[in-house]
Structure 1
Amino acid sequence: MTSYRIHTVDTAPEGAKQPLMLLQEAFGFMPNGAGLMANSPALLSTFFSAFGHFRGSGTFGPDERQVLLLSNAVANGCAWAVAFHSLEALADGVEPAVVDALRRGELPADPRMAALSATTRAFIGKRGHLDDADVTAFTAAGFTEGQLFEVIAGAAISTTTNYAANVARPPLEPPVRPYAWTEGHWGGV
């Protein structure tokens, strides 16, 4: 369990209150990852702004965004984020079989989702040094070269929350608990 403070809207530093309030409204509960990031209003505000652009002006659909974010959470070994994005993925229409495959660290059977997951994992694993085969597989699945850069935005957003949660190891919120995950022990949905 964490020794870092998990803020609420009431306890957060002034610069973190508004982003926390909006995140709580969006998810229907306060994500502990956001409450942790509120310890640094600069971190939370950076995350909040980037996520808003990724979600609001990005070209990935909700299901694709969740495949990307869940793939990153698994690649970064972040138990809190895997559980959180498992819940969100299912809510955003990702098939349970796809979520299960991603939680196991495998590529899903769906070719488009497999290409998206493989590309985002390659970005993390290769520290951004994709080769021609990585790019070709991504675009062959119907994604654009512009979306390749959008994957970078998703990886950056994931890194923010994944690293904060890996440092602090927050408890899972009640709605997220059924999706608990431990690296190497995937726990199906």
Structure 2
Amino acid sequence: MSIYTQYTIESAPAQSQPALQQLQQTFGMIPNIAAKMAASPVLISGFLSVFQRVHSSSLTEPQIQTLLLTNAVTNASEWPVAFHTALALKEGVSPADVEAMRHGRAPTDAQLAALSMLARTLIEKRGRICGEDQQRFLDAGFSAEQTLEVIAVVAASTITNYAASVTHPALEAQFEQYAWRARAA
């Protein structure tokens, strides 16, 4: 049994309700992770704010989903892997590239591979990338400014990944086919 309540719009703390309403409008549902994050108005509001900005960046939705899926796998966070698998496929990322990322490998698409590699490197090196790491990303056709946007995506997904690892949200029925288990440490 989890010590974290899974809130509805009506049962959530008043300051969390607008964020849950917005997620309901966006997804047609309140993702279970957000329902648990609503226990903290600070967390759910910060989460929503940073994700809104990420999704208005110069990166495309398939690129963002590539980053989010890579981040979830790198952080061994099960709920986000299933969720972002579904969204990546919906956004047109090829099933082969999605499967590669779910297994910790780079996608075959060169730009998605560059995004995935940069995100994984940022997480594994705690943000201390070298010039060669950044140059590989730039050589794939991205800008220096987009390196900073990738950092924003990594930061946003860290919220989800850590919250999922702490609160253990149940996986929604529509994502069960994408369930993923982290390897034992």
Which TM class, normalised by the smaller chain length? over 0.9
**Structure 2, gaps ≥5 residues long:** none
Structure 1 position 2, deviation (Å): 3.0
Moved more, 174-183 or 58-67: 174-183
Indicate conservation of the 8 Å contact 1:2/1:171, yes or no. Answer: no
Q: Does 1:106 align with 2:102?
A: no
Match of 1:18 in 2: 18
How far residue 176 of structure 1 moved from its aligned partner, in angstroms, is 1.1
- Residues in 2 aligned to 1:2 and 1:134: alpha-carbon distance in whole angstroms: 40
Match of 2:50 in 1: 50
- Map of 1:155 onto structure 2: 154
Q: Which residue of 2 is the match for residue 63 of structure 1?
A: 62
- 2:145 aligned residue: 146
- Large movers: runs of 4+ above 3 Å: none
Offset, 1:3: 3.3
Task: Quote how far apart the aligned CAs of 1:105 are.
Answer: 0.6
Q: Distance in 1 between matches of 2:141 and 2:150?
A: 14
Which amino acid is the alignment partner of residue 47 of structure 2? F
Cα distance in 2 for partners of 1:112, 1:48 equals: 27
Cα distance in 1 for partners of 2:7, 2:93 equals: 30
Give identity over the alignment, percent.
44
Q: Distance in 1 between matches of 2:61 and 2:157?
A: 15
Corresponding position: 1:32 with 2:36: no
Residues 105-144 of structure 1 correspond to what in structure 2 (within 5 A)?
105-144=104-143
Matched residue of 2:169: which SS?
Answer: coil
Give the CA deviation at 1:94. 0.9
Scaled by the length of structure 2, what TM-score is found? 0.96
Q: Distance in 2 between matches of 1:132 and 1:165?
A: 32
Distance in 2 separating the partners of 1:103 and 1:174: 19
The aligned residue for residue 175 of structure 2 is 176
Q: 1 CA distance for matches of 2:94 and 2:58?
A: 20
1:68-87 alignment to 2 at 5 Å?
A: 68-87=67-86
TM-score, normalization: structure 1?
0.94
AA matched with 1:118: M
Contact 1:20/1:34 (<8 A) preserved: yes
Which residue of structure 2 lines up, in the alignment, with residue 3 of structure 1? 3
> Which 5+ residue runs of structure 1 have no aligned equivalent?
none
